[in-house]
Amino acid sequence: MPQRIRPGEVAIDLPATFDAGLYFIGRIHTPWARREDCPKNGADSDAVCTIEVDERYAAGLRDIESVSHLIVLYFMDEAPRDVMLQAPRHYRRPHGAFALRSPARPNPIACSIVRLVAVAERRLDVIGLDCRDGTPLIDIKPYFASIDAVPEATVGWHVDERDS
């Protein structure tokens, strides 16, 4: 359900067909029933969320309990896919979709880093998610600090517009 375009935003025509397909491999259970209840990002919340992997894929979880942090990919199925220039209310001016972490993008796949706190069979309790209850799960990967942690990374436009 595409949202209306705000002033300064630009939408495009999407291709008529997809190039590849995704399986929903499970669901994410969170305390937030609606999109507007969700925290702005997962780091803003200490809520424990539960990732439930479908039985079909359960063998893929072996050794996951030894991993401290996970990269979770999930499908933002309520997000519009055609808004390339976006004007979120909390920023001063429009930015490109690829310079934002907005769920609205051609492939609305969110990527969150979470801390794994418990594993019980196909259910993983994690801290650090921001999505609506029932969000479709796409993938889980182990987070390797050696390749994934870049503490010195900066987002210039964001620093310039930060209120605080």
Residues 23 to 42 in contact with a copy of itself, rule: CB under 8 A: 23-25, 41-42
Which sign, positive or negative, has the C-alpha torsion 55, 59, 65, 68? negative
Which of 20, 36, 46, 89 binds a copy of itself (CB under 8 A)? It is 20
Q: Check if the beta carbon of residue 95 is closer than 8 Å to that of residue 105.
A: no
Q: What b/e sequence results for 69-92 when a residue is b if at least 16 CB atoms lie within 10 Å of its CB, and e otherwise?
A: bbebbbbbebbbbebbbbbeeebe
Of the pair 48, 64, the CB lying nearest a copy of itself is at 64
3-state SS assignment for residue 98: helix
- Of 143, 112, 115, the C-alpha closest to 48 is 115
| Pairing label, strands 69-75, 135-142 | antiparallel
CB atoms within 10 A of CB 132: 20
Of the pair 33, 43, the CB lying nearest a copy of itself is at 43
CB of 120 to a copy of itself, least distance (A): 15
- Of 79, 86, 84, the C-alpha closest to 104 is 79
Residue numbers 89-118 binding a copy of itself by CB under 8 A: 94-101, 105-107, 109, 111-113, 115
Of the pair 48, 127, the CB lying nearest a copy of itself is at 127
CB of 87 to a copy of itself, least distance (A): 11
The verdict on 157 binding a copy of itself (CB under 8 A) reads yes
From residue 42 to residue 81, the character string flagging contacts with a copy of itself as x (rule: CB under 8 A) and all else as - is xx---------x--xxxxxxxxx-xxxx-x-x-x-x---x
CB of 153 to a copy of itself, least distance (A): 4
Residue numbers 116-155 binding a copy of itself by CB under 8 A: 136, 138-155
How many positions of this chain bind a copy of itself (CB under 8 A)? Answer: 77
